[in-house]
Amino acid sequence: MRTPSTPGRPGRPIRIKVVNPNTTASMTTLVEQCARAVAGPGVTVDAVNPVTGPESIESHYDEALATPGLLAEIAAGEVEGYDGYVIACFGDPGLLAARELARGPVVGIAEAAMRSAGYLGRSFSVVTTLARTIGHAQDIAHAYGVASLCAGIHACEIPVVELERDPAARATILAACHSALVDDGSDVLVLGCAGMADLCSWLADELGVPVVDGVAAAVTVVEGLVRAGLRTSKRGELAPPPVKRRSTAYA
């Protein structure tokens, strides 16, 4: 139900917290710029990264180590009064645990990008960083029920932290996107890493197809859900975690 205090009403800005679950601050800055570029009127966006965890997430081990820091940022966001959250990592690590902790909507960039791509064409191709992450991306496409729309998942074999350092990265990613579209016969391209967010409009111009950056897609989805007065259901599976002793740094 929408009331004068509903976020998005005049004088009550919508506050979105974007969490980059790796510890690379320069990537968090890039993600924040791309997130703020699509945020609507009356929406504030803050991007953060944990101080603990891996500098990049390119394996199941990285995801496991990044998740406690991510969840600590979500828990802090509840105290700080944020209305919604974006998990800015293409594996959507800790998504359901974060939804248990947060009252407002929590959206992962992979889910947002894949579902948004479904609105824009017959099928989409994903271009991510390392080939070893393709299996996980396939698993979450199945989990989200969009595997039938996903024509293929490809890797440009550029490590996450090299995306902003490697002068050849743009050309390599463009070539990988082009061959993905040709090989898959798809008509939409999904960027498989938050660190590629700033390449979105340039790639779309070069490729002539819609290119979906999950950071922008997720911010748009969170903003829309909050503006509509919608929050995570607390009836059942995503209710707050049971109260108990948890000997971890953040519980």
Contacting positions for ligand 5HY (CB under 6 A): 22, 56-58, 89-91, 128-130, 133, 160, 193-195
Identify the bridge partners of residue 7 per DSSP, sorted by sequence position.
none
**C-alpha closest to that of 163 among 58, 240, 36:** 58
User: Could you tell me the smallest distance in angstroms from the CB atom of residue 216 to ligand 5HY?
Assistant: 13
Amino acid letter for position 215: V
In degrees and rounded to multiples of 5, residue 211 shows phi and psi of -115, 125
User: Could you tell me the smallest distance in angstroms from the CB atom of residue 125 to ligand 5HY?
Assistant: 16
Minimum CB distance to ligand 5HY smaller for 129 or for 186: 129
Minimum CB distance to ligand 5HY smaller for 199 or for 226: 199
Q: How far is CA 32 from CA 35, 38, 47, 82, 178, in A?
A: 5, 10, 5, 15, 27
**CB hemisphere CA count around 142 (13 angstroms):** 6
For the CA atoms of 212, 215, 219, 221, the dihedral, rounded to the nearest 10 degrees, stands at: 40
User: Could you tell me the smallest distance in angstroms from the CB atom of residue 191 to ligand 5HY?
Assistant: 9
Minimum CB distance to ligand 5HY smaller for 14 or for 48: 48
What are the DSSP calls for 92-151, one per residue?
-TTHHHHHHH-SS-EEEHHHHHHHHHHHHSS-EEEEES-GGGHHHHHHHHHHTT-GGGEE
User: Could you tell me the smallest distance in angstroms from the CB atom of residue 58 to ligand 5HY?
Assistant: 5
Q: How far is CA 100 from CA 15, 139, 203, 219, 241, in A?
A: 19, 21, 36, 19, 6
Minimum CB distance to ligand 5HY smaller for 189 or for 226: 189
Minimum CB distance to ligand 5HY smaller for 14 or for 155: 155
User: Could you tell me the smallest distance in angstroms from the CB atom of residue 165 to ligand 5HY?
Assistant: 14
CB 163 within 8 A of CB 184: no
Minimum CB distance to ligand 5HY smaller for 39 or for 196: 196
Residue 104, token pair as written in the block: 């407002």
CB 91 within 8 A of CB 192: no
User: Could you tell me the smallest distance in angstroms from the CB atom of residue 142 to ligand 5HY?
Assistant: 17
Minimum CB distance to ligand 5HY smaller for 121 or for 159: 159
User: Could you tell me the smallest distance in angstroms from the CB atom of residue 65 to ligand 5HY?
Assistant: 11
